[in-house]
Amino acid sequence: MGDEGAAGAQRLKRRKRFALLLFTGFLGSSFGLGGERAAAAAPGDTAELARPNILWIVAEDMGPDWGVYGEPESRTPTLDALAANGMRFTHAYTTSPICSISRSAFYTGMYSTSIGAHHHRTPADRKQPLPDGVRLLTDYFRDAGYFTALAVTLAPPDAGTDGDAIVGSAKRDWNFRYDGRPYDSRDFNDLNDNQPFFAHVQFKEAHRGPAWDTAHERIDAPADPGKVDLPSYYPDHPTVRRDWAQYLNAVMAFDVKVGYVLRRLEEQGLADNTVVVVFADHGRAMVRGKQWLYDSGLHIPLVVSWPKALPPPAGYRCGEVSGRLVTAIDLTATTLSMAGIDPPPLMQGRPFFGKNRVTRRYAFGSRDRADETVDRIRTVRDKRFRYIRNYYPDRPYAQQNIYKETRYPVLRLMFRLHRAGELGPVPSLFMAPTRPVEELYDSAADPQQVHNLANDPAYREKLVELRAALSAWEVETNDLGRIFEPPDVAIRIEQRSRERNRELIQAILQREGPWRVDHSGE
């Protein structure tokens, strides 16, 4: 066996040993939850619940920017009604602000940093299998007799070939190797004859691309760029206003598609015994959102709607707006609990419904290499404060990232305005050549998280508390981000991305001119 093969075998051996340590409790029973509290038993907690069907409807790249969450230029009647008749969460967060990392986590109920899935888009030849004892959510459902589906085909069989037919996304995008068949079907029409089921439908309107570009064409009343409320970390510029308005148009187009899926449930006769869960894989695909550990990258909408025909689990209250702190990996454990399936002891997510529901004190998050951009950042948030630790403080926020620079017009604009001295003090924070080692934000007083309190003596106690909580979590969960990834991975990704985007880069340069000071045009 060559040196690389031997090293790979050793890595796999360490990961399997880690799984065993978690199972035996060697690393502690809290799994970094830090002060979790199990709910006291309540009347009805032990009652046997009927096995419901469960449907996840997942948005890509979307923050809590629905009308019901307080965004006036986002008119989302379907989602608002679902929230009014369900349970809406105001403090739901993903564990990573990047699709492949976040999905790797919430489809296993594990932190991506614990299972070696913490880098974005790991090349196929570098992906490792899941550690022993870690499985996909659908594996647990299959064992319990559930039918599983990633529903891409949504229209009924007699719909014909209508070009406007709504279809779901087939995206999986996991940062680990999975050789089995994760789903039984990709057709919504198979659900009626295969109950109980766990099905997953997802839409990519808010992910930049064709669906984003055309979102305004598929809604009745697009957002008015002149009326949108921009975050203070953006310059107030027509380009930014148009971009933000188009994001809200994408949110509204998602609402239309959710309405279509709910009608399909009714048509199939499934609405009365199907739990509907709507959430996003992470936050907005915007500058300082996606790929970043601020609330703009991690805060997601979450609504759970329990059918009135079935007795709800303990902790579920129809029509309630919950301020409980929950994470996407908790949603994994909760979904299993909804079906009467006990999450395995290894699973780091904890259910927030049911007899074994847990109240979380902290929510943790991570970001490592994203595309070719090498970084390591960790965060912990309680109900009010967010603490961030930058492991590479000598690097700028706006490191090179070809994907983001070619797809985000606002990022290119900010580079140009900063170079001209016209960006403004708050937006210029993102253009800083270095970063502080620690960041601390009071999200109640500063919801956009732009005023760093890490050096403020008045917040010393909170800084120490969250710093200690994050350090303990990194140890307890065996954070694999401390192990350096070979530099050739980022080099390969950059070369491939540069080649794939060569024509696009040249087109942008010809249309707009350079954006970086050191831009070579290559």
- CATH number of the domain encompassing residue 113: 3.40.720.10
**Is 16 part of a structural domain of the chain?**
no
Res 39: pLDDT: 58
Evaluate if residue 521 carries a pLDDT over 50: no
The number of distinct structural domains making up the chain is 1
Count of other CB atoms within 10 angstroms of residue 189: 17
227 to 19, 69, 241, 369, 437: CA distances (angstroms)? 51, 17, 9, 36, 37
Residue 45 lies in a domain: no
Give domain status of residue 434, yes or no. yes
What is the rounded (10 degree) CA torsion for 144, 147, 148, 150? -170
Does residue 12 lie in a domain region? no
Mean pLDDT within 218-247:
97
pLDDT of amino acid 12: 45
Per residue in 248-260, pLDDT tens?
999 999 999 999 9
pLDDT of 122 reads 87
Residue 435 CA to residue 342 CA, distance in Å, equals 43
Segment 106-121 mean pLDDT = 96
Q: Which range (170-184, 263-277, 469-483) has the least confidence? A: 170-184
Place of tokens 């002891």: 345
Does some domain include residue 15?
Answer: no
**Residue 161 pLDDT level (bands cut at 50, 70, 90):** low
pLDDT, residue 165, reads 73
Q: What is the pLDDT of residues 384-426, one digit of tens each?
A: 999 999 999 999 999 999 999 999 999 999 999 999 999 999 9
Average pLDDT, the chain: 90
The verdict on residue 13 lying in a domain is: no
pLDDT at 21: 43
Q: In what order do the strands lie in the sheet with 53-59?
A: 185-187, 147-153, 197-203, 53-59, 274-280, 299-305, 87-93, 321-327
pLDDT of 477 > 70? The answer is yes
* pLDDT tens per residue, range 415-454: 999 999 999 999 999 999 999 999 999 999 999 999 999 9
Q: Check residue 49 and give its pLDDT.
A: 53
User: Comparing 13-17, 152-156, 207-211, 334-338, which segment has the lowest mean pLDDT?
Assistant: 13-17
Residue 110 belongs to domain spanning: 22-35+51-512
Tell which wins on pLDDT, 370 or 7.
370
Does residue 2 lie in a domain region? no
* 11 domain residue, yes or no: no
State mean pLDDT over 469-474: 98
